[in-house]
Every structure is written in C-alpha cells, then in structure tokens.
Amino acid sequence: MNEPPVEVVRVSEVSRLNLIALKKRTGIENWNILCRWGFCLSLADRSPLAPTDRGEMSSVEMTWSTFGGTYADLYAGALKARCVESGIALDKQSYAEQFRLHLERGLLKLVGLEETRSLEGFLGLAVVEV
C-alpha cells in the first residue's frame, strides 16, 4: 500500500475556476474525476515542474480516497515513481508539494486543450496511438 501524498486534496482558486469551466464544457459532474485527469496529464508531461505561487486556496477539497477512488494506491505509486525519477526527496513535505504542483499544472493544461471543449473531445484524450 502506497502512502498518500496528502490526506486532503485542495486546489487553488485558479484551479477551482478551471474545474468549473471543465465541468461546464464536458458535463462531467465530479471534480475528483477531472482532478485525476489533470494529475495524470501532468505526470505524462516529462518537463520539470516549475515552482509556482498557487495564490489563494479555494473551498474545493476532497479526501485522498475520494480523489483516487479505487486506484488511490496507483496514483500515489505513480507520483512516488516520478519523484524518484526526478531526484525529488520522498519526505512528506516534498511528496505533498509534488502532488500539488502536478495537480495544479495538470488542471491548467487540461483547461487549455481544445479537446476539452466537449465531452467527446475530452474522452478522446484517453485514446492512445500505438
């Protein structure tokens, strides 16, 4: 079992506005699903994370188990592997910060994609060319 990077997932006010836009565009009601997609999109981006001032935190929060659902251990393990690959220490503070940075970057990237203008386009992001 992988230890979660945070017990409670919180997003910035900017990310809350991005989640509202994504929810409106795609019709996906649950923010945890949109957060998972954003997190995974950021993990797939091989560029280094840039430290960022997330600004004011919003009222959007969920438990780690709500964020990760059935695959919460998988998400924690993927983050842990990315930290090791990037030479990031696995202390509690660094691990949590990496999660927050990936979540914030991922939501920003997700809202900027043309594919997220509709549910069909959003779901098309999952198609992988072989």
Quote the CA–CA distance of 116 and 21 in Å, as a whole number.
10
Mean pLDDT calculated for residue range 82-87: 94
From residue 6, alpha-carbon distances to 43, 102, 114, 128 in Å are 17, 13, 31, 30
- On the question of pLDDT at 23 being above 70, the answer is yes
Q: If you write DSSP's letter for every residue of 86-125 in order, what string do you get?
A: HT---SHHHHHHHHHHHHHHHHHHHHH-GGGGSHHHHHHT
Q: What CATH number labels 8-124?
A: 1.10.1220.160
Quote the CA–CA distance of 79 and 62 in Å, as a whole number.
18
Side-chain half-sphere exposure of 18, counting CA atoms within 13 A = 21
Q: Is 129 exposed, middle or buried (0-12, 13-18, 19+ CB in 10 A)?
A: exposed
Mean pLDDT calculated for residue range 93-98: 95
Supply the pLDDT for residue 50. 84
Mean pLDDT calculated for residue range 3-16: 94
pTM: 0.87
Mean pLDDT calculated for residue range 99-116: 87
